[in-house]
Amino acid sequence: MIQRGQYPIIEFDGNENAVINPSDVTKKLKKFEYNKLIITFFGEALQKMIDNHLVEPYITIDGENPFTVYKFVDKDILILHGQVGCPACAGNLDLLSALGINKVMFCGGGGVLDKDIKVGQILVVEGAIRDEGFSYHYIEPSRYIYVDTKVNDKIIKYLSDNQVPYIKGLVWTTDAIFRETKDKVALRKAEGAKIVEMEQAGCIAVAKFRGFDYGALIYGGDDVSSDIWDDRKWKSRDGTRYNLIMLCKEIVDIL
Q: Answer yes or no: is pLDDT of 189 > 70.
A: yes
Q: What is the mean pLDDT of residues 38-54?
A: 96
Q: Which residue has the higher pLDDT, 113 or 216?
A: 216
Residue pair 219/120 in contact by the 8 Å Cβ criterion: yes
How do residues 101-111 score in pLDDT, each as one tens digit?
A: 999 999 999 88
Q: What's the pLDDT score for residue 234?
A: 46
Residue 94 amino acid letter:
D
Residues 121, 220 contacting (CB under 8 angstroms): yes
- 105 in Cβ contact with 38 (< 8 Å): yes
pLDDT, average across residues 145-171: 96
Q: What is the DSSP letter of 100?
A: T
Q: What is the 3-state secondary structure (H, E, C) of 180-245?
A: CCHHHHHHHHHCCEEEEECCHHHHHHHHHHHCCEEEEEEEEEEECCCCCCECCCHHHCHHHHHHHH
**Which is nearest to 145 in space by CA: 215, 218, 204?**
204
Rg (CA), the chain: 18
What are the E-state strand segments in the chain? 36-40, 55-61, 67-72, 78-81, 103-112, 122-131, 144-146, 167-174, 193-197, 213-223
Q: Measuring CA to CA, which residue among 254, 246, 255, 35 is closest to residue 122?
A: 246
Question: Are the beta carbons of 118 and 237 closer than 8 angstroms?
Answer: no
Q: What pLDDT, on a 0 to 100 scale, did the predictor assign at position 163?
A: 93
Domains and CATH numbers, the chain: 31-252 (3.40.50.1580)
CA distance 109 to 224: 13
Residue 39's pLDDT is 98
Query: What is the pLDDT averaged over residues 22-26?
Result: 91
Q: What is the pLDDT of residue 240?
A: 81
pTM: 0.93
What are the residues facing 168 on neighbouring strands?
Answer: 124
Q: Which has the closest alpha carbon to 176: 198, 157, 205?
A: 198
CA atoms of 57 and 35, how far apart (whole Å): 16
